[in-house]
Amino acid sequence: MARKSSSAPALPAGYSEDPAAPPMLRYQASLPKLPVPTLESTCAKYLETVQPLLTPTEYSKTKNAVSSFLSSPQAAELQRRLKDRAAAPETVSWLIDWWNEAAYMGYRDPVVVYVSYFFVHVNDRLRRDPAKRAASLIKAMLPFRDLVESGRLEPEKVRGAPLCMASYKWLFHSSRYPVKPSDTAQKFDPKSNNHIVVLRKNRFYLVPLANEAGVEFSAAELEAQLNNIIAHAGTTPHPTPIGALTSDNRDLWADAREALLAASPSGKNAELLKKIEGAMVIVALDDTKPITREQISWGAWTGDGRNRWYDKHQLIVFDNGRSGFLGEHSCMDGTPTLRMNEFMLASLAHGKIDLGPEHVDSSKLPQVQELVFDINDKVKELVKGAESRFDELVSKHDLHVLHYEGFGKNFCKHHKVSPDAAAQLTKQLAFHKMFNRPGVTYESAQTRKFQLGRTEVIRSASNESKAWAEAMLNPKIAYLIRLLKDPVHLRTLFNRAATRHIQYANWAADGQGVDRHLFGLKKLIKEGEPLPEIYTDPAFAQSSHWELSTSQLSSPYFDGWGYGEVVPDGYGLSYSIGDDYVRWTITSLKRQTEVLKHYLAEAATEVKHMLEAAAKKDKEAEKAEKSRL
C-alpha cells in the first residue's frame, strides 16, 4: 500500500511519517502530547462557564475562591507537578491512565445503561431475514478488521492533521474484565481466535470465520451456520443466562466470575470464557421484532439483559432483520466504532463487499458448536440476582426519540450558523422552558489530535446562551410579537451564543478546556495537603454535575444512537444532524423525559421561525434600501 502520492496534501507543520511504523500508525510518533493549559487560562474559562449557573452572590464567592487559588503557592506547585508529569520521557499522555481509571475501569456501576452506547443501523430492505442480515454484517466487518489488524487502515484526519489511532487496537478480539477494585482489558491474537460468538436464546455458539484451509466462509455459508444455530437454540430460552452476569455491578460480576470458574474444576468454564472474550465480536441474535425508533433503541441499548455479553462490542440483529451495535466504552470512544459501522453499512449499500458464492455445500460446514457452561446452584443464584437487578434498573428508565425534520445541515448552512451550535442552543432553550434556568451541559469533544487523546468537555451553557434563551422566553412580551417585531435582535443574541460555543469547542479540541486540567491538578494533591477552596466551593460540584450529557455522532447509515444519563437527576441526550433533520435520543430515570422531548421540538420550531423571520426582515430591509437609491 503506497504511503502517499505526489498529489497528497501536505501535512501541517510538526507532523512527519515514521517509515518503520505500519501505515495506520505512521503519524503516531509525531502527534503532539496533550498540553497542560496555563492556570490563568483555565481559571478564567472556569469563571466564565460557572457564571450563568450562579446567582450574583454565589458568583462573587466563587470568584474569590478562584482568585485565592490562582494566587496561592499550592496552585503553582500543583501546576509544576502536572507539567513535570507531562514532560517526563516515559509519559505519552499525562491524563490517560487517570482518566481511564476514573471514568471507566474504576467505575463500579453496571456498564449497560451507564457506560455502553448504541447505534441503530438504517433498515436494509434487501435483508429482512435475521441470518442473512447478520451474515452480511459479519462479512462486511472482515475487511475492516483486516485493515486494522494489518495496520493498513488510513489514519483519520481533521483539517489535514492526523488523529491518534492507538485505540483501534481494542476494536476486535478484545474484552473488558471485571476485577476489584478496577477492571482490566485484554487484547487477543486474531489468528488464533478467528471466530465470533453468537448468542441466541441466552445460549452461546462459536462460529469460525474461515475453514480449516484458512479460506473465509462466504456470506451464504455464514447465513447457513446462523440458521443452524437458530434452529438448534429452539424456542425456549436457556433458563440460566450466563450473559446476565455482565450486566451487573462490576464488583458483583467479579465475584460471580470467580464463582463461575470455581463451578468447573476441570477448567472447562475458563476455556469457554476465553473463547467468548477472544472472539472478533459478539453477535446477538434477538428473538424480538422492534419497529418503532423507541423499540429498536431499547433493543440495541439494553436488550433483555440476558442474550448479551456487555464486556465486548456486539452486533445485534433482530428477527425482522433490523440491526444495531452496542459499544464497549472502556478502551475507546465512539468515533472508531462509528467509522467501522459506516464502513460496513456503506460497503453493503453500494455493493462493495465480496459476499462470495451463493452456493452452499452443507456437508462442508462446521457442526453447530454450543459453548455449554458447567453450572451449579451457586451460579444459578448469582444469575437470578443479576437478572433481578437488571430488570429493576431498566424499569426505572425512560427512552424517547425525537426525529425533527426540516432543521438540519442544509437549513443551518442557509442561515450561516454552525449546525452543532444550533443543536446545542436548541437544547438550552428547551431546558430553560422546562426548568427556567440553564442546564449544566457536557458536550463531548474528541482530543485525538494528541497522543492517546480521548475527550474533553465542551461546557455548552454560557452567559451568551442564557441571554438568548431569556430573550426568547421574555414573559413580558408574547413570543409571536417578539418574533414579528425584532427577530434580528434575537438572531444577534443567537449568533453571539453560537460563536461562543464554537470558541469553547475549539478550546476543548485543542486540550485547552477546563475539566481535564482541574481534574489533573486535583489528582496531584498529596495525602495531608489541604483541598483548595476552588474544589470545595459549591460551584465546582454544581458546574460539573452534568444534567445534560450530550454528544453528536452523525451518519446517513444510522437511524439513531444513544446512551444513559450520567447523574441521577439528568438526561442522556445524544444527537445526530442530517442534511434535513436533527434526531435526539433522550434517556433518564423517568424524569419527565417525554416533556423534555416536547420542549426540544417546540424549541427547534422557535429557532427555525426566528432565523426565517430574521432572514425575511433582512430581505425587507435590503429591498427598502434599494428603493431609496
> 365, 396, 427 — which closes off a domain?
396
Question: Rounded distance, CA 439 to CA 548, Å?
Answer: 7
Give the rounded percent of residues in the chain with a pLDDT score beyond 90. 93
Q: Is the pLDDT of residue 3 over 50?
A: no
Same-domain check for residues 300 and 440: no
The overall average pLDDT reported for the chain is 95
CATH number at residue 348: 3.30.559.70
Q: Tell me whether residue 73 is in a domain.
A: no
Q: Tell me whether residue 475 is in a domain.
A: yes
> 364, 396, 428 — which closes off a domain?
396
17: three-class secondary structure by DSSP: coil
Q: Tell me whether residue 385 is in a domain.
A: yes
> pLDDT tens digit string along 137-146?
999 999 999 9
585 beta partners: 401, 574
SS (H, E, C) 489-518: HHHHHHHHHHHHHHHHHHHHHCCCCCHHHH
> pLDDT tens digit string along 140-195?
999 999 999 999 999 999 989 999 999 999 999 999 999 999 999 999 999 999 99
Residue 485 confidence (pLDDT): 75
Same-domain check for residues 296 and 355: yes
Same-domain check for residues 462 and 606: yes
Interstrand relation of 571-577 and 548-552 (parallel, antiparallel or unpaired): parallel
Number of Cβ within 10 Å of residue 629's Cβ equals 4
Residue 205, phi then psi, degrees to nearest 5: -130, 135
CATH number at residue 552: 3.30.559.10
Residue 480 confidence (pLDDT): 67
Q: Is the pLDDT of residue 477 over 80?
A: no
Same-domain check for residues 387 and 418: no
Same-domain check for residues 466 and 479: yes
Residue 8 confidence (pLDDT): 55
Question: Rounded distance, CA 565 to CA 585, Å?
Answer: 11
Q: Tell me whether residue 306 is in a domain.
A: yes
Residue 6 confidence (pLDDT): 40
Same-domain check for residues 123 and 271: yes
> pLDDT tens digit string along 321-365?
999 999 999 999 999 999 999 999 999 999 999 999 999 998 889
Q: Tell me whether residue 53 is in a domain.
A: no
Lookup: cell for 228: 443452524
Lookup: cell for 61: 464567592
Same-domain check for residues 148 and 120: yes
> pLDDT tens digit string along 380-424?
999 999 999 999 999 999 999 999 999 999 999 999 999 999 999
Q: Tell me whether residue 81 is in a domain.
A: no
Question: Rounded distance, CA 21 to CA 207, Å?
Answer: 33
Question: Rounded distance, CA 205 to CA 199, Å?
Answer: 6
Please, are residues 584 and 600 in contact by the beta-carbon 8 Å criterion?
Answer: yes
Q: Which residues are catalytic?
A: 329
Residue 112 confidence (pLDDT): 96
Interstrand relation of 282-285 and 203-208 (parallel, antiparallel or unpaired): unpaired
Residue 143 confidence (pLDDT): 98
Q: Tell me whether residue 48 is in a domain.
A: no
Same-domain check for residues 421 and 361: no
Instruction: Domain of residue 361: give its range.
Output: 110-396
Alpha-carbon distances of 14 from 95, 162, 166, 189, rounded to whole Å: 22, 11, 19, 34
Give the rounded percent of residues in the chain with a pLDDT score beyond 70. 97
Alpha-carbon distances of 468 from 8, 360, 465, 487, rounded to whole Å: 44, 63, 5, 12
Same-domain check for residues 375 and 415: no
Lookup: cell for 337: 466504532
Structurally, the chain folds into a number of domains equal to: 2
Q: Tell me whether residue 67 is in a domain.
A: no
Same-domain check for residues 537 and 422: yes
Same-domain check for residues 309 and 432: no
> 374, 396, 418 — which closes off a domain?
396
Q: Write down the residue that cell numbers 422566553 correspond to.
A: 473
Same-domain check for residues 297 and 439: no
324 beta partners: 120, 316
